[in-house]
Amino acid sequence: MDTSRREFLKLGGACALGLALLPAVKGFAAGTGSPQHLASPKALQGKRWGLVIDMKKCWPRYQEGCRRCFDTCRREHNIPVIDNSKEEIKWIWPEPFANAFPDQEHEFIPADVKDNPFIVLCNHCDNPPCVRVCPTKATFKRPDGIVMIDYHRCIGCRYCMAACPYGARSFNFRDPRPYIKETNPAYPTREKGVVEKCTLCVERIDTGLPPACVEACPAGALAFGDLEDPASPVRQLLKTRYTLQRKPELGTHPSVYYIV
């Protein structure tokens, strides 16, 4: 019995050593000419992408039944339609004022603000708690401020869902593919067991296009730009109009602003 135990310890030691060496091996492999990712020369350059959403521009169209931003996003990103509020996948969707801004609600809010929807999505927070908690770095923030999820690394622990104070993250409780109406072959679908959310259309920004929702809105209610650039359209709006952020008191520094 003693020898077998020694064997076992040896084996365990070897495994531990292997794990410890792994990063070094990986670094070595990366240094010897593995393919590098090349950015498109057309990619938009920004330090902190953000949105300013003018709800007053949106509402008249919304009343007429316009849902262009939601529908375009859904088609573009292969978002499944799951008819069960507990398992819905949401990237960008409407919420009443009281839900979107629970701490700023009071009983005398003007009826048009109260009864009209607000467009909500991931805020691409400058100080994102979802990134802080993720145990695998599957959720990460790019240098341009976009908060992303690597669907191939996510282990589906859902810690990020507990950490996001905006309900911006959805989990694939089941295989989403049967629920996608028309698959867009240009964008990957997801599998069951991973978390997903709005990506601010990185795939478009990296090829020189603004986010799909911004482009789709016939009223021009969504403005997109670099929050660090004083000349950007978003900064122009922020300078001249009074804006709201969702739950600013939490210190997450959302990059999505609202004009009412």
Partner 1 sequence: MIAKAFTGSRRYWSWVTFLLVLAATGFACYLVQFNQGLTVTGMSRDVSWGLYIGQLTFLVGVAASAVMLVLPYYLHNVKAFGRITILGEFLAVAAIIMCLLFVFVDLGKPMRLLNMILYPTPNSILFWDMVVLSGYLLLNIVIGWTMLEAEYKTVAPPSWVKVLIYISIPWAVSIHTVTAFLYAGLPGRHYWLTAIMAARFLASAFASGPALLILLCFVIRRFSKFDPGQEAINKLAAIVTYAMIISVFFIGLEFFTAFYSQVPAHGMDTLLYLFTGLDGHGKLVPLMWLFVILAFIALILLINPRTRTREKTLMVACGAVFVSMWLEKGIGLVIGGFIPNAFNQVTEYSPTPLEMLITLGIWAIGALILTFLYKIAVTVKEEIL
What residues line the site for partner 1 (CB under 8 A)?
Answer: 19, 22, 85-88, 90, 95, 98-100, 102-103, 129, 132-138, 153-159, 161-167, 169-175, 192-195, 247, 250-252
Q: Is the distance from CB of 208 to CB of 40 less than 8 angstroms? A: yes
50 in contact with ligand SF4 (CB under 6 A) = no
Q: Could you tell which of ligand SF4, partner 1, none binds residue 124, using a CB distance below 5 to 8 A set by kind?
A: ligand SF4
Cα distances from 119 to residues 32, 74, 164, 187, in angstroms, run 47, 14, 17, 23
Query: What's 223's DSSP letter?
Result: E
State which residue, 71 or 150, has the beta carbon closest to partner 1.
150
Q: How many CA atoms lie within 13 A of 124 on its CB side?
A: 28
Residues 90-119 binding ligand SF4 (CB under 6 A) are: none
Q: Could you tell which of ligand SF4, partner 1, none binds residue 162, using a CB distance below 5 to 8 A set by kind?
A: partner 1
Residues 141-160 binding ligand SF4 (CB under 6 A) are: 147, 149, 154-160
Cα distances from 90 to residues 58, 82, 83, 190, in angstroms, run 19, 10, 12, 13
Residues contributing to the site for ligand SF4 (CB under 6 A): 122-125, 128-130, 133-134, 136, 138-139, 147, 149, 154-160, 164, 166, 168-169, 195, 197, 252
